[in-house]
A and B are shown apart, each in its own frame.
Chain A
Amino acid sequence: DTAVSQTPKYLVTQMGNDKSIKCEQNLGHDTMYWYKQDSKKFLKIMFSYNNKELIINETVPNRFSPKSPDKAHLNLHINSLELGDSAVYFCASSQTTSGGLETQYFGPGTRLLVL
């Protein structure tokens, strides 16, 4: 069973469109994340939710809107897609620990190409 899954795996779309990416984890973790990895392989956090509550919101255009219906799901909606949004988007999850060492497990990624 896939621990962290994302759909779709590939997404090719035109500029100006709106698209959504879905993420689900079956690890029982309480925290989920969205990362963006650009063409230079730089992995940068965008958002994080803990038990459906937004706890990390990096400097991301407000065209990006995360939504967590429950702690096992975190979706990412992107409005008015731009060329610069082309990247691989990774979902990840972790379990909060008292020791502060939360290992993050990554999904397979969604490869978004905006034409």
Chain B
Amino acid sequence: QKEVEQNSGPLSVPEGAIASLNCTYSDRGSQSFFWYRQYSGKSPELIMFIYSNGDKEDGRFTAQLNKASQYVSLLIRDSQPSDSATYLCASSGGGNKLVFGAGTILRVKS
């Protein structure tokens, strides 16, 4: 069973802090990884994707990938209350199929 695992949280951080969201995957054939944000009652929206080892930055967001450890993370700098949502990690082994984790609930307290 190919799985993506995330801590369900909730992860609570104060406004302005760095939020660190983590994800592990079991399929070593996974090639690319996606972070989606889902607000309550809304659809998932893509934040970032990463497919090379190392860091990838986009604004306040940094995705990190370590294929040897089968570990993906998302850092959110200067966290805002509007960042409060569920963050879904997903892996792809190529092709069209995404395997999602159960998501981590993030709460940013003002």
User: Which residues of A line the B interface, CB within 8 A?
Assistant: 31, 33, 40-45, 48, 50, 55-56, 90, 94, 96, 100-109
B62 within 8 A of A: no
Cross-chain pairs A/B with CB under 8 angstroms, 9 sampled: A42-B102, A42-B103, A45-B99, A48-B97, A90-B43, A96-B96, A101-B32, A101-B51, A109-B42
Establish whether residues A102 and B103, one from each chain, have CB atoms under 8 Å apart when the complex forms: no
Alpha-carbon separation in the docked complex, A44 to B103 (Å): 12
Q: A43-B88, A43-B100, A100-B32 are in contact. List 15 more A-B contacts (CB 8 A).
A: A41-B38, A41-B103, A43-B103, A44-B100, A50-B96, A55-B95, A90-B43, A90-B44, A100-B95, A101-B49, A101-B51, A103-B46, A104-B34, A106-B44, A109-B42
A65→B70 CA distance, assembly (Å): 35
Cα(A55)–Cα(B88), bound, Å: 24
B86 at the interface (CB under 8 A from A): yes
Residues of chain A with a CB closer than 8 A to B102's CB: 40-42
Partner of B97, one of A42, A45, A106: A45
A5, chain B: closest CB distance, angstroms:
11
- CB-based A-B contact count at 8 angstroms: 54
Known interface pairs A40-B102, A41-B86, A41-B102; A102-B96 also in contact (CB < 8 Å): yes
Residue-wise interface mask of B (80-108) relative to A, using a CB-CB cutoff of 8 A (1 in contact, 0 not) = 00000010100010111111101100000
A77 to B46, CA, bound (A): 27
- A40-B104 Cα distance, complex, nearest whole Å: 11
Closest-by-CB residue of A relative to B49 is A101
